[in-house]
Chains A and B, each alone.
Chain A
Amino acid sequence: MGTTEHTVKAFDEDIGELRGLISEMGGRAEAAIVAAMDALVKSDTRAAGRIVSEDARIDDLEAQVERLAVRIIALRAPMADDLREVVAAIKIAGVIERIGDYAKNIAKRVPLIESRRTIEPISLLPAMANTATEMVHDVLNAFAARNAQGALDVVERDKVVDDFYNSIFRTLVTFMMENPKTIGEAAHLLFVAKNLERVGDHATNVAEMVYYAATGEYLADRERGGED
């Protein structure tokens, strides 16, 4: 779908610019999550501070996506798959902005977790983060390519993230019960795990938007495990 060019070439340029902005946003949000996890594991508070301040850039990009999308709707009057893509872009930008917020939230916890090395589940968190950020990465590729199958594949993977979360949750609760002194740190790690679980949910939401943009059909009522 959408392989042929528009008669009005500037329309293709606008759509290309929109995809570029979404792609840049996604890349930044993905990198922010990975970097936040790295800072958490290494207890690198300087890196964590950088992640917090760089979130403003993602917010900026969201505003740019919105402005460009409104301009395209006003000036190009997009129809059919073009219209669906532009509307999806606005919604996707909002979701990526939230993912950026989760990275910021994780980074903010770095200075608050003192004894993290004594808590074993922390070793599972980076793997969970990788799975969630790969979902974000792949779903945005699917968006740029209008690839419905790619979106479906991402939806399937949300269960892996949910399994990670459930496993980490149980382990942390056990830790807290065995050693009440770890409750403060363990609670922070629980929030980190929850944030990552939400990143997976958001990637799934984006996948549904991509599916709709690509096919015009709603992936409605599809069961999403771990949704609270």
Chain B
Amino acid sequence: MESMNQNLKMTARDVSVFYGEKKAIDAVSIDVPLEDVTAFIGPSGCGKSTFLRTLNRMNDTISIARVEGRIELDGEDIYAPSMDVVQLRARVGMVFQKPNPFPKSIYENVAYGPRIHGLAATKADMDQVVEQSLRRAGLWDEVKDRLSDSGTALSGGQQQRLCIARAIAVDPEVILMDEPCSALDPIATAKIEELIHELRGRYAIVIVTHNMQQAARVSQRTAFFHLGSLVEYGETSEIFTNPRQERTKDYITGRYG
């Protein structure tokens, strides 16, 4: 892997994940830069989502899952006993495949996180956090006149942007997106991709996607996973025009299997 003259937000070194006896991830080392969008691609079952979930310890919720190796956020071991997992997940937010707004108002969906983390002292502060988060998520103009409507009444694409606003509201440093567009139509997908482009630089973004064109469109760095291993990681433009590994080439050109 070529060296990167960038601010590294997260680093993983020799990370392996086991589900019981089964090894799902085998000694993956990767750097997540602050400035770039990093895409994880690979066939189903390659471990890309499993690995993504190690970055904010979502695998902790699975009792048989075990993580080895070291993952750092700003140089701090996120698996250290002293790490507050709730705090970690505020710093490393996550957006899921299917939009999952709470069955509450649009306002409450965004305000929930800042409230439990004590990020807004007054109603005015909270109003401002909600507006700023919805603006950054590119949803404000569409919902500003109906903030008390239920979040679940929005369209799929709007719901997903609401979930992004919810993640943004707690002022994270990293946003993990696990196939954020797979349930959306092409227009809603384009809006999310444009949003990712706008959020770039403010947050380190890691996106898992099955859609290689999407990885090519939104990311600056791409990692190809196969059978639990990181096969190749490099600049997106290089990966898609001149991959170094035969397995990467076979996958992205549609010759896989």
Size of the chain B interface, CB-CB below 8 angstroms: 15
Q: Does A201 contact B (CB under 8 A)?
A: no
Q: Does B242 contact A (CB under 8 A)?
A: yes
Given known contacts A77-B213, A79-B212, is B241 in contact with A5 (CB within 8 Å)? no
Q: Does B18 contact A (CB under 8 A)?
A: no
In the bound complex, do residue A79 and residue B257 qualify as a contact, i.e. CB atoms below 8 Å apart? no
With a CB–CB cut-off of 8 A, which chain B residues contact A38?
Answer: none
A-contact bits for B223-257, CB 8 A (1 contact / 0 none): 00000000000000000111100001110111111
In the bound complex, do residue B255 and residue A6 qualify as a contact, i.e. CB atoms below 8 Å apart? yes
B-contact bits for A198-212, CB 8 A (1 contact / 0 none): 000000000000000
Contacting B at CB under 8 A, from A75-123, are 77-84
In the bound complex, do residue B243 and residue A80 qualify as a contact, i.e. CB atoms below 8 Å apart? yes
Given known contacts A4-B250, A77-B213, A79-B212, is B241 in contact with A84 (CB within 8 Å)? yes
Size of the chain A interface, CB-CB below 8 angstroms: 16
Given known contacts A216-B241, A216-B242, is B253 in contact with A81 (CB within 8 Å)? yes
Chain A: minimal CB distance from B176 (Å): 25
Of the candidates B213, B241, B256, B257, the one whose C-beta lies within 8 Å of that of A83 is: B241
Complexed CA–CA distance, A5 and B256 (Å):
9
Q: Does A74 contact B (CB under 8 A)?
A: no
With a CB–CB cut-off of 8 A, which chain B residues contact A6?
Answer: 253-255
Q: Does A53 contact B (CB under 8 A)?
A: no
Q: Does A8 contact B (CB under 8 A)?
A: yes
In the bound complex, do residue A82 and residue B241 qualify as a contact, i.e. CB atoms below 8 Å apart? no
Kindly name the residue among A11, A77, A84, A217 whose own CB sees the greatest number of chain B CB atoms within 10 A: A77
Complexed CA–CA distance, A5 and B252 (Å):
13
Complexed CA–CA distance, A84 and B249 (Å):
12
Of the candidates B213, B240, B256, B257, the one whose C-beta lies within 8 Å of that of A80 is: B240
Q: Does A7 contact B (CB under 8 A)?
A: yes
With a CB–CB cut-off of 8 A, which chain B residues contact A217?
Answer: 242
Complexed CA–CA distance, A78 and B216 (Å):
12
With a CB–CB cut-off of 8 A, which chain A residues contact B242?
Answer: 80, 84, 216-217
Complexed CA–CA distance, A216 and B249 (Å):
12
Complexed CA–CA distance, A162 and B255 (Å):
42
In the bound complex, do residue B254 and residue A8 qualify as a contact, i.e. CB atoms below 8 Å apart? yes
A-B contact pairs, 22 of them (CB 8 A): A5-B255, A6-B253, A6-B254, A6-B255, A7-B257, A8-B254, A11-B254, A78-B253, A79-B240, A79-B241, A79-B254, A80-B240, A80-B241, A80-B243, A80-B252, A81-B249, A83-B240, A83-B241, A84-B241, A84-B242, A216-B242, A217-B242
User: Lowest 5 A-B CB distances belong to which pairs?
Assistant: A216-B242, A79-B252, A4-B255, A6-B254, A82-B253
Taking A82-B253, A84-B241 as given, write out 10 further A-B residue pairs in contact, using a Cβ cutoff of 8 Å, ordered by the A residue number: A4-B255, A6-B254, A7-B254, A77-B213, A80-B241, A80-B249, A80-B252, A80-B253, A81-B249, A217-B242
